[in-house]
Amino acid sequence: MKRALFLAMLVAAAPATADPSTPPAALAYTQLRDPAQEAQARDLMATLRCVVCQGQSIADSDASMAGDMRALVRSRIAAGEKPDAIRAWLVERYGDYVTYDPPFGAATWPLWLAPIALLVVGALIARSSFRRRAR
């Protein structure tokens, strides 16, 4: 009984221990001094997905991992690196999941073709329905 109670308390405390207590990275919540560089960084951050959040960009997420990724993007932009190179590095490190625009490939073709297939099916259903009403 004590063991089950201990496990229940441990599971209940898991969300409290999920976010580290370390301070955020230096550029996680600080804008770059150059407005053009900050605009580049913000544009890039809006297109990158937080790897710990469900569907949030690193620009919108409050997770510490997103803060670290924002700091990384800003520091690399400030160092003169191009946004495409930063994106390529992050995709290489975290996989295609990190971008909202995955490349067309063997694993992602359903993502690209499903909307077209659904439109075709919808058009066929609508056509069939209109033909029945016309009779």
* CATH number reported for the structural domain that contains residue 50 in this entry: 1.10.8.640
In 3-state terms, the chain is what percent helix, strand and coil (to 5)?
A: 65, 5, 35
Q: Is the pTM of this model over 0.75?
A: no
Number of structural domains the chain divides into: 2
In a domain, 124, yes or no: yes
List, in order, residues 6 or more apart from 58 with CB less than 8 Å away: 45, 48, 49, 50, 66, 69, 70, 73
Question: For residues 71 and 27, is the Cβ–Cβ distance under 8 A?
Answer: yes
In a domain, 20, yes or no: yes
Question: For residues 41 and 32, is the Cβ–Cβ distance under 8 A?
Answer: yes
Give pLDDT tens digits for 49-76. Answer: 998 887 899 998 888 888 999 999 999 9
Q: Are residues 96 and 114 in the same domain?
A: no
Domain that includes residue 56, residue range? 11-103
In a domain, 73, yes or no: yes
In a domain, 3, yes or no: no
User: How large is the average pLDDT for residues 6-24?
Assistant: 59
